[in-house]
């Protein structure tokens, strides 16, 4: 016998985890081509009609809000290159949610007033190197100086800025201490993210920089007395720390070697309107087609959340994974 729900019932999975945080990919396009996100050969271009329009984004989001979502983060690709993104941000800002955005910050200077008007306070910026030539090599574009200028612009406007650093062995793991030192005099949160397996990004176990390896580097540089643990917020993906007498913080997101699945509250909506209940999930539900067919989305959403695996989309261990074992989208088509 099926359980009857009212819209006041929280979105719970089989483990009782409450899902109230929606991450929306607004576009699969990006003005950078970072290799861990965008496959070398690019992605297949598809007709515009397969993607959510601005109105459809707002219509579908309102269903999630009615089901108890209280936080929304806009991602991409690069969300700030989507047509009508200013309109979407302003309309979402009218909803009773905490609104945030993840961006590469190339164009963020054009949206300062829009972000303020919508009440956005938290902005995550992807930045994988503090060395201009290296960053431009990773991103295959030459926007480093513009991005750094825009990060300082966000700080000047008192946004809560987090810097997402995807660590890859032999590429940028020698910059861990340089990133942490940035927090000494700058009110910024550096977040080191383990390199994760997605279609087309040539991932393997040896390329990841683990939580323990990062902590070992920190201990070697500062000693245990030189930094301390910061109280993490509920459902936080990052284990956070602070150097003694610094104004900023740093954290580690260890999806591969030390996951945080037991407190996960996240739902993902792809740019083509599919719901993914986990970043690593191989299953998706097509909300956009259902919406266009005037179906009630609530049962589809509840079913997708109920079927969530206990950990990492059903992938319990990645030690023996290779790229050939990845049965998932490329990162750029999921959303950061």
Considering the domain boundaries, does residue 308 fall inside one?
A: yes
Give the tens place of pLDDT for each residue, 119-163: 999 999 999 999 999 999 999 999 999 999 999 999 999 999 999
pLDDT over 90 percentage in the chain: 67
The C-alpha atoms of residue 192 and residue 307 are separated, in whole angstroms, by 30
- For residue 38, pLDDT over 50 is answered with yes
Q: What is the pLDDT of residue 281?
A: 77
Q: What is the pLDDT of residue 142?
A: 95
- For residue 245, CA distances in Å to 129, 183, 225, 239, 248 come to 24, 10, 12, 19, 9
Q: What is the pLDDT of residue 2?
A: 43
Backbone φ/ψ region at 288: left (φ over 0), alpha (ψ -120 to 50), beta: alpha
> Are 275 and 304 within 8 A, CB to CB?
yes
Considering the domain boundaries, does residue 168 fall inside one?
A: no
Q: What is the pLDDT of residue 42?
A: 59
Tokens 């081509």 correspond to 33
Q: What is the pLDDT of residue 326?
A: 53
- Domain of residue 121 covers 21-163+258-333
Considering the domain boundaries, does residue 191 fall inside one?
A: no
Question: 226 or 201: which carries more pLDDT confidence?
Answer: 226
Considering the domain boundaries, does residue 9 fall inside one?
A: no
Residue 56 is part of a domain; what is its CATH number?
A: 3.20.20.70
Considering the domain boundaries, does residue 271 fall inside one?
A: yes
Considering the domain boundaries, does residue 180 fall inside one?
A: no
Considering the domain boundaries, does residue 278 fall inside one?
A: yes
Question: 318 or 279: which carries more pLDDT confidence?
Answer: 279
Q: pTM for the full model? A: 0.89
The C-alpha atoms of residue 178 and residue 163 are separated, in whole angstroms, by 13
Considering the domain boundaries, does residue 272 fall inside one?
A: yes
Could you tell me the two tokens for 181?
């030192």
Number of domains in the chain: 1
The C-alpha atoms of residue 216 and residue 194 are separated, in whole angstroms, by 15
- For residue 63, pLDDT over 60 is answered with yes
> Are 36 and 201 within 8 A, CB to CB?
yes
> Are 185 and 247 within 8 A, CB to CB?
yes
Give the tens place of pLDDT for each residue, 182-216: 999 999 999 998 876 555 455 565 678 889 999 99
Q: What is the pLDDT of residue 321?
A: 56
Give residue 282's pLDDT band: very low, low, confident or very high (50, 70, 90): confident
Could you tell me the two tokens for 130?
């503090």
Average pLDDT over residues 55-59: 98
Q: What is the pLDDT of residue 323?
A: 55
Q: What is the pLDDT of residue 306?
A: 94
């Amino acid at each position: 016998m099926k359980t009857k729900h009212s819209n006041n019932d929280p979105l719970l999975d089989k483990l009782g985890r409450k899902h109230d945080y929606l991450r929306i990919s607004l576009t699969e396009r990006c003005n950078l081509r970072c290799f861990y996100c965008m496959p070398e050969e690019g992605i297949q271009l598809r007709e515009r009609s397969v993607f959510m329009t601005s109105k459809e984004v707002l219509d579908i989001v309102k269903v999630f809000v009615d089901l108890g979502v209280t936080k929304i983060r806009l991602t991409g690709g690069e969300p700030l290159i989507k047509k009508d993104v200013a309109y979407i941000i302003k309309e979402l800002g009218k909803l009773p949610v905490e609104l945030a955005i993840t961006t590469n910050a190339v164009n963020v200077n054009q949206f300062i007033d829009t972000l303020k008007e919508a009440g956005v306070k938290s902005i995550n910026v992807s930045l994988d190197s503090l060395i201009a030539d290296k960053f431009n090599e990773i991103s295959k574009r030459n926007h480093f100086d513009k991005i750094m200028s825009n990060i300082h612009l966000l700080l000047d406007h008192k946004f809560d800025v987090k810097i997402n650093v995807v660590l890859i062995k032999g590429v940028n793991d020698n910059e861990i201490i340089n990133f942490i030192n940035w927090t000494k005099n700058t009110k910024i949160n550096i977040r080191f993210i383990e390199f994760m397996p997605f279609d087309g990004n040539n991932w393997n176990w040896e390329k990841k920089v683990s939580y323990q390896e990062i902590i070992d580097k920190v201990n070697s540089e500062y000693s245990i007395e030189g930094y301390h643990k910061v109280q993490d917020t509920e459902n936080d993906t990052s284990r956070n720390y602070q150097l003694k007498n610094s104004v900023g913080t740093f954290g580690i997101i260890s999806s591969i070697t030390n996951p945080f699945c037991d407190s996960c509250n996240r739902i993902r909506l792809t740019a083509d309107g599919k719901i993914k209940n986990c970043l690593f999930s191989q299953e998706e539900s097509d909300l956009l087609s259902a919406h266009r067919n005037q179906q009630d989305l609530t049962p589809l959403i509840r079913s997708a959340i109920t079927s969530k695996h206990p950990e990492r989309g059903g992938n319990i261990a990645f030690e023996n994974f290779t790229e050939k074992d990845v049965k998932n989208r490329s990162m750029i088509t999921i959303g950061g």
